[in-house]
């Protein structure tokens, strides 16, 4: 798959599709062999982008095709940490449903709940307290 560098992170087209929420493009890329676990230059896989953007449909698609929800990027965050830091409750729910551990710690030792608390995201805090 072709690499792009629009953001300077040497990401693949699948990264771009995930960050832009383009599920149809992502499906096409995956059908042509795109690697859902290919990391960019900062260690993020497309799932990080989908989780950060709160696109639960994209998250489901990537997970269905074997995306690694435990992968920690060079900034120390897994997809569930990204979702928590961006206030994406529905994405967090999908990740947990698919097996992600909400108590997984980032490189600073924080859980998704602690990240949400640091951002004063009450909806995520309530969800994680009720589901962990």
Q: Which domains does the chain show, CATH number per domain?
A: 3-130 (1.25.40.20)
Q: What are phi and psi of 14, to 5 degrees?
A: -65, -35
Tokens encoding 78:
């897994």
Q: Residues 81, 85, 65, 3: what is their CA dihedral angle, to the nearest 10 degrees?
A: -110
* 87-97 residue pLDDT tens: 999 999 999 99
Q: Above 80 in pLDDT, residue 2?
A: no
* 21-70 residue pLDDT tens: 999 999 999 999 999 999 988 889 999 999 999 999 999 999 999 999 99
Contact 80, 49 (CB under 8 A): no
* 85-126 residue pLDDT tens: 999 999 999 999 999 999 999 999 999 999 999 999 999 999
The rounded distance, in Å, linking the Cα atoms of 20 and 130 is 30
Q: Above 70 in pLDDT, residue 78?
A: yes
Question: Of all helices (H) and strands (E), which one includes residue 48?
Answer: helix 46-53
Q: Supply the pTM of this predicted model.
A: 0.89
């Amino acid at each position: 798959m072709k690499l792009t560098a629009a953001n300077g992170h040497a990401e693949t087209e699948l990264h771009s599709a995930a960050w832009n929420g383009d599920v149809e493009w992502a499906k096409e890329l995956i059908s042509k062999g795109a690697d859902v676990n290919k990391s960019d230059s900062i260690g993020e896989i497309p799932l990080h982008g989908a989780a950060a953007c709160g696109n639960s449909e994209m998250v489901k698609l990537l997970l269905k095709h074997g995306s690694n929800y435990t992968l920690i990027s060079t900034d120390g965050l897994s997809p569930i940490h990204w979702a928590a830091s961006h206030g994406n409750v529905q994405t967090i729910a999908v990740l947990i449903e698919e097996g992600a551990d909400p108590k997984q710690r980032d490189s600073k030792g924080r859980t998704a709940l602690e990240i949400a608390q640091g951002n004063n995201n009450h909806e995520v805090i309530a969800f994680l307290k009720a589901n962990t």
